[in-house]
């Protein structure tokens, strides 16, 4: 298992056409820095009542850049919920999505937010 760490900024905007009432759809684009120097492009679908603190989202985003000196791309799949008990988030590298030097990558991507600053930890494996 290998590890990558760094920071990122995220840009999220609503998408049209709007989905059915009670849902929302957004672009999700990031600039990642650190061991993973990359950009992402993706889409997020949300539902629930964020004002009441009970909601969830799913997203897919394509990551393109350089991971510890290896260039290529891969996709991340998000699944997250929040309620009165707290938040739960699972972000994984989509199997079979790696290209270039990152072909065959597997792993998990952990997002941390502290005082408005975003950071990540990526635990991954690559074939020999």
CB atoms inside a 10 Å sphere around CB 40: 22
pLDDT tens per residue, range 60-74 = 999 999 999 999 999
CB atoms inside a 10 Å sphere around CB 113: 9
Instruction: Give how far the C-alpha of residue 85 lies from the chain's centroid of Cα atoms, to the nearest Å.
Output: 22
Q: Read off the tokens for 61.
A: 């985003």
Q: Read off the tokens for 66.
A: 């350089």
Task: Classify domain 2-125 at the CATH topology level.
Answer: AOC barrel-like (2.40.350)
Q: Read off the tokens for 16.
A: 């049209």
pLDDT tens per residue, range 13-45 = 999 988 888 899 999 999 999 999 999 999 999
Per-residue pLDDT at 22: 85
Q: Determine the average pLDDT of the residues in 85-96.
A: 95
Give the span between the Cα atoms of 82 and 79, in whole angstroms: 11
Q: Read off the tokens for 22.
A: 């009670």
Is the model's pLDDT at 7 over the cut of 90? yes
* Residue ranges of domains in the chain: 2-125
Per-residue pLDDT at 52: 86
Q: What percent of the chain has pLDDT over 70?
A: 100
pLDDT tens per residue, range 104-115 = 999 999 999 999
Per-residue pLDDT at 70: 97
């Amino acid at each position: 298992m290998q590890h990558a760490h760094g920071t990122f900024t995220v840009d999220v905007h609503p998408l049209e056409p709007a989905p059915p009432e009670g849902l929302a759809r957004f672009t999700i684009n990031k600039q990642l820095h650190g061991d993973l120097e990359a950009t992402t492009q993706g889409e997020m679908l949300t539902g629930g009542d964020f004002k009441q603190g009970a909601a969830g989202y799913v997203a897919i985003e394509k990551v393109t850049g350089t991971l510890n000196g290896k260039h290529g791309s891969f996709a991340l799949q998000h699944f997250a919920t929040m309620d009165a008990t707290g938040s739960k988030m699972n972000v994984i590298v989509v199997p079979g999505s790696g290209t270039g030097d990152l072909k065959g990558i597997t792993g998990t991507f952990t997002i941390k937010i502290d005082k408005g600053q975003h950071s990540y930890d990526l635990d991954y494996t690559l074939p020999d």
